[in-house]
Amino acid sequence: MSINDLAIKIFADGADVESMKTLYADSRIKGFTTNPTLMRAAGVTDYQGFAKAVLEAIPDRPVSFEVFADEFDEMEAQALEIASWGSNVNVKIPVTNSTGEFSGPLIARLSSAGVVCNVTAMFTMEQVMAVVEALAPGTPAILSVFAGRIADSGIDPLPIMTEAASHLSRVRPLAELLWASPRELLNIFQADQAGCHIITVSPDLLKKLALVGKDQDAYSLETVQMFYNDAAAAEYSIKVSDCA
């Protein structure tokens, strides 16, 4: 199957402006997300300057920027400011603050005010259901469930993603489910099968899109040739014992 045959939307996840510009030229990339950890790793020091540069380069596809305050009043002020930067801006709100307090009342206020929230760092169906209750029915939203990290903990994320997608379709049809932190390209197909609307994919994984649908016999031969060529380049040798 081709990526183009899937219903799911691919959002690029990163914080390098030049990379984002390159990916913007790829029609398969339907949106962009970032977070403070990715921004710090990319060397971003001016949050607002970075965001404005991104939005200048990407004016017509969804872009998610995250609040970084920990007190809910300050979070709200940041969220309203971020939302004002462009009509294509989604505001990422963590499902709790750093002490574990649920962000539901803040999400409810922002959603009621028309802010498109991308509620992030969710891991459980209980969190999904609580967030859904907080969302205004008439305002679009994104619910980011970290399926990759769920899988890292030895739990199959497919059941929760399937249940979450079904729940959203019934009670909040304007809200979209996002499969966050994928670990391999197969996750794109799994997320599509589960009914997710969006999957975030890192630039490293996006480079592998060309492998989708690749002939497996040809891939096998290329792998054998790689091993052979690398052994030859390293000039490995084995002294074979005379067993006679």
What's residue 24's pLDDT? 97
For each successive 10 residues of the chain (244 residues), what is the average pLDDT? Answer: 86 97 96 97 97 98 98 98 98 98 98 98 98 98 98 98 98 98 96 98 92 94 98 95 71
| CA atoms of 112 and 173, how far apart (whole Å) | 16
Across the chain, what does the average pLDDT equal? 96
Helix (H) or strand (E) segment spanning residue 47: helix 47-57
What angle, 0 to 180 degrees and rounded to 10, lies between the N-to-C axes of helices 72-83 and 104-112?
30
What's residue 1's pLDDT? 63
Domains of the chain by residue range: 3-213
pTM above 0.75, yes or no: yes
User: Which residues are the active-site residues?
Assistant: 92
- Is 148 exposed, middle or buried (CB count within 10 Å of its CB: 0-12, 13-18, 19+)? middle
**Side chain identity at 99, as an amino acid letter?**
T
What's residue 125's pLDDT? 98
Distances (CA, A) of 55 to 40, 49, 62, 89, 243: 18, 10, 10, 8, 71
Spatial CB neighbours of 126, under 8 Å, sequence gap ≥ 6 = none
Backbone angles phi, psi at 172, to 5 degrees: -140, 75
**Six-digit token string for 236:** 């490995």
pLDDT in tens, 4-53: 889 999 999 999 999 999 999 999 999 999 999 999 999 999 999 999 99
What's residue 5's pLDDT? 85
Intra-chain end-to-end CA distance of the chain, in Å: 54
Please give the CATH topology (third level) of the domain spanning 3-213.
TIM Barrel (3.20.20)
- Of the candidates 123, 114, 166, the residue with the CA atom closest to the CA atom of residue 141: 114
- Of the candidates 183, 175, 177, 70, the residue with the CA atom closest to the CA atom of residue 125: 177
Backbone angles phi, psi at 74, to 5 degrees: -70, -40
Q: How many CA atoms lie within 13 A of 53 on its CB side?
A: 14
| CA atoms of 37 and 44, how far apart (whole Å) | 10
Query: Sign of dihedral through CA atoms 4, 2, 166, 98?
Result: negative
